[in-house]
Amino acid sequence: MRNLLAAVLLLGVVTFCAARYDYNPKEKESAIIEAVLKYLEVLHFSPQEINDDFSNKVFDEYLKYLDSAKRFLLAEEVNQLEEYRYQIDDQIKSRSLLLLDESLEVLDKSIDRSNIYFNEIMDAGFDFTIEETFNTDSEQRAYAKNESELREYWRKSLKLDVLNRIDQKLEEQEKDTTGMEPLSLDSITIKSIGETRKNFNDWYDRLDKVRRSDRFENYVNAIMHVFDPHSDFYNPKEKEDFDIRMGGKLEGIGARLSEDGEYTKVVSIVPGGPAWKGKELEVNDLIVEVTQKGEEPVDITGMRLDDVVAQIRGDKGTTVILKVKRTDGSFHQISIVRDEVILDEGFARSLKLAIPDVIENIGYIRLPRFYSSFEGNEGNSCAVDVEKEIAKLNNEQVDGIILDLRNNGGGSLQDVIKMSGLFIENGPIVQVKSKERKPHVYDDRDTDVKYNGPLIVMVNQFSASASEILAAALQDYDRAIIIGSNSTFGKGTVQRFQNLDQYIQGMEDMKPLGQIKLTNQKFYRINGGSTQLNGVTPDIVLPDTYSYIDSGEKEYDHALPWTQIDPLDYGQEVYTIENRKKLEMQSEKRVYDNASFKAIEEQAKRIKKYQDDVEVSLNLETYREFLNAKELESKEYEDIIDQNVECLTIENLNVDLDIIQSDESRKARNEDWLKNMQKDIYVEEALYIMKDMISIKS
């Protein structure tokens, strides 16, 4: 019925559009918007009425795309565009692009004006001895009331950029042990100003090359993101890049990136890739500068994501240097040697763990993502591989299994259903609901149970989608204890691609129009609650460095709400968790007495403090004192957290030793894995929880 409805709704527009032959770029833009909105109306899980309220939201979203840092537009120019705040819905219906046209004209003039400010300010130089501060949080700043106020913003912003460069050069010089003659502060300042001038000149050159089509895509995404943050427009090139990423072809350093305002954000690090092996690049790092070894750095602030990827990609064996900004506000230079990504680190693997004289012979399975054979040359499905690891651990007669889903961003729905079924007899795993349709229940139909003992599932705030489905199902069945950070990511929605070319018959000279990824379904737990927004709350919450920072789906504007549907009938008789409250209390006491967990808690509070403390001194001495204090605090934290967990013993399974020893590269990667596991206090606590589970049960 829904497909029939879609066909009826689209038919009139298809015929109308097909009757036209000559078009200009604006006609193509209008056709794209019309097609996008029609697909959203028919297929989106939560369609919206195109009215003044919708227009109001789109206007605010589009303003972020225009000038998220509030570095270009004056308040009076924003007020000029305010005329269209409640007219976007009418413009859409009349195939008008008045807001887009006028906003681009205003933006171009404001960029040219800022370039004049930039050159005047750089020529005038800076005084780093006076006490003044700069607010680094654009959300706390209003648009400048006049040119004098905007110019002052630019002066302070550029001064901070130069200040960062001076500090880094002074720090490098202080740590230099080569015996080279140190540069004077004046020389360092002149060099830093020159670097800032070059980077901003390069940035303005890139801004000059921004196409109208790029700005138009921002306008379309502003419309789509009012529906939800995961619905996006993809031009043909972006869709091709998306398919490459999903097909498992990795891009240079093995990190997945996304746009975050004017910055490029690291959203995940591919296990086995160069960045993963380097252990320096972190999820949530903002990349601000890219340097090819031996060349000048390139400031990528405001650069298109595909251009950033082009900067980071390169031949195997070459070095790229990334300057990143951490969540605590600190800057780091990270060198990464590009290499082929070794995919076996992305597959399920297992170990045997123990704490001598406390608990012995516990199995551990690490699953970095829910990969599947439908992705081509990626190998077996993760459900098949986890089943194999369980069989190995059963042969070792382990007394319990820990399944580690930390940082697992999800993947194959079919695999998560099959994998959940490895631990129960049979029954429902997840409900998937489309708009105005009854939920479809995905069941485990296999009555065979591959593992019937104590089970712990480890998660964190980056465990998303399929990870949340598995954790929720095993929690609802009372089959496993879930341990981890405050909650998982909270992405409980499903997206599908729709090709806009199907909207228009004929008109081949206008195509390709691109594709949209839109949210058309929601996941629901078997208890009826959604994983959307709230994620899965662990049974036992452990301290985490992001404990005091909102992360995950809650960070997004226009995220779909948490909702509830009818629960299902479910149950299992394999193994049930007993006395959860006692397990939680015993863990809480251990964590309270653990110096490493105390250090994590203190670091979490510091990160929150630094995130909230957005006023930065522009006095060189004060600024350096502030950074040195932060660096000292971070060093103290790292010294504590980087210690080996002495009581923890880790070993490979005997059955895996031959293949590990067969290849020097594989052997080295395994040693690196074991070395990092030895420092994992979360695994240590998981073992103590497992010991408590077994004691209570017996």
Looking at the annotation, which residues are catalytic? Answer: 465, 476, 491
d(Cα 310, Cα 270) in Å, to the nearest integer?
18
* Contacts for 93 with CB less than 8 Å, ≥ 6 apart: 50
Closest CA to 204 of 329, 324, 277, 301: 301
**H/E stretch holding 223:** helix 212-225
DSSP state of 143: P
d(Cα 451, Cα 539) in Å, to the nearest integer?
21
Distances (CA, A) of 693 to 425, 682, 687, 688: 21, 16, 10, 9
Identify the three-state secondary structure at position 497: strand
Bridge partners (DSSP) of residue 289 are 299, 323
* Contacts for 628 with CB less than 8 Å, ≥ 6 apart: none
First to last CA, the chain: 55
d(Cα 511, Cα 504) in Å, to the nearest integer?
9
Instruction: Please enumerate, as own/partner, the contacts of 332-337 that have beta carbons within 8 Å and a separation of 24 or more.
Output: 332/280, 332/285, 333/168, 334/278, 334/280, 334/281, 335/278, 335/293, 336/253, 336/274, 336/275, 336/278, 336/280, 336/281, 337/274
Instruction: Please enumerate, as own/partner, the contacts of 308-311 that have beta carbons within 8 Å and a separation of 24 or more.
Output: 308/257, 308/264, 309/241, 309/251, 309/252, 309/257
d(Cα 552, Cα 681) in Å, to the nearest integer?
23
- State how beta strands 319-325 and 331-337 pair: antiparallel
**H/E stretch holding 37:** helix 25-43
Q: Which two tokens stand for residue 190?
A: 């002149």
Placement of tokens 């460069």 in the chain: 165
d(Cα 117, Cα 134) in Å, to the nearest integer?
17
d(Cα 111, Cα 114) in Å, to the nearest integer?
5
Residue pair 454/690 in contact (Cβ under 8 Å)? The answer is: yes
d(Cα 421, Cα 440) in Å, to the nearest integer?
17
Strands of 550-690, DSSP E = 615-617, 649-651
Residue pair 351/277 in contact (Cβ under 8 Å)? The answer is: no
- State how beta strands 455-459 and 401-404 pair: parallel
Exposed (0-12), middle (13-18) or buried (19+): which is 615, by Cβ within 10 Å? exposed
